[in-house]
A and B are shown apart, each in its own frame.
Chain A
Amino acid sequence: QKEVEQDPGPLSVPEGAIVSLNCTYSNSAFQYFMWYRQYSRKGPELLMYTYSSGNKEDGRFTAQVDKSSKYISLFIRDSQPSDSATYLCARGWRFGAGTRLTVKP
């Protein structure tokens, strides 16, 4: 079983929609989780990280960890076309498959 698993999508939503991106992880000892965003022809860049369980909010983005279910989520409110990218969850140097998101105007 992979350490971090993610549905690769793709996911297409209209502008203004709420987006939910999800990952699962296998090891309950994991403490920190990262979300990266990768635009076309660019390397991934850190978007947010969360520690243990609970929520972390940054503008339109909210990262959530549910330790009981080993579930990691990223929510994007009021999604914009500029949010179109691939979103990758990660623990350390292990990455999920990445979900390609397209936000249509």
Chain B
Amino acid sequence: ETGVTQTPRHLVMGMTNKKSLKCEQHLGHNAMYWYKQSAKKPLELMFVYSLEERVENNSVPSRFSPECPNSSHLFLHLHTLQPEDSALYLCASSQDPTGTDNSPLHFGNGTRLTVT
């Protein structure tokens, strides 16, 4: 399998649930990202991992907890979410871990999260 794979594709959870989103990249890249995409809003960068270390945390609430056990896998652990957290959560990877502007991102197709 190639590219960036995200599971599950769809997730419905209650506000008291705990769930995890999974991302796997098969591109040999060194950096991985979580983005949030809400309806009619810009793509919001949440977390950046470079060589398995978190290098960017964009003021994300603590109810979102990322985990990067190795350079190919990225998780987003969710707990006590709010309805406004309903969105498409996108994972991406890139070769360049420094955030410079010449390394394109490769995205998965996202997890559509609905919080009830």
**Is residue B100 contacting chain A, with contact meaning CB distance below 8 A?**
yes
A93 CA / B103 CA spacing, docked (Å)? 9
Which of B94, B99, B101, B109 is close to A43, meaning CB atoms less than 8 Å apart?
B109
A90 CA / B100 CA spacing, docked (Å)? 11
Which residue of chain A has the shortest Cβ distance to B42 in the bound complex? Answer: A97
Q: How large is the interface on B (under 10, 10 to 19, 20 to 34, 35 or more residues)?
A: 20 to 34
**Is residue B115 contacting chain A, with contact meaning CB distance below 8 A?**
no
Is there contact, CB below 8 Å, between B104 and A46?
A: yes
Is there contact, CB below 8 Å, between B108 and A43?
A: yes
Is there contact, CB below 8 Å, between A43 and B104?
A: no
**14 A-B pairs, CB-CB below 8 angstroms?**
A32-B101, A36-B105, A43-B107, A88-B43, A91-B101, A93-B33, A93-B48, A93-B56, A93-B92, A93-B99, A94-B45, A95-B42, A96-B42, A97-B42
Which residue of chain B has the shortest Cβ distance to A44 in the bound complex? Answer: B107
A46 CA / B105 CA spacing, docked (Å)? 7
What is the size, in residues, of chain A's interface with B at 8 Å between Cβ atoms? 25
Q: What sequence of 0s and 1s flags, for each residue 78-99 of chain A, a beta carbon within 8 Å of any chain B beta carbon?
A: 0000000000101111111110
**Is residue A26 contacting chain B, with contact meaning CB distance below 8 A?**
no
**Is residue B66 contacting chain A, with contact meaning CB distance below 8 A?**
no
Q: Which residues of B contact A93 (CB under 8 A)?
A: 33, 45, 48, 56, 92, 94, 99, 105
Interfacial residues of chain B within 1-56, with CB under 8 A of chain A in the complex: 4, 33, 40-43, 45, 48, 56
Q: Which residues of A contact B45 (CB under 8 A)?
A: 93-95
Interfacial residues of chain B within 60-96, with CB under 8 A of chain A in the complex: 90, 92, 94
Is there contact, CB below 8 Å, between A31 and B107?
A: no
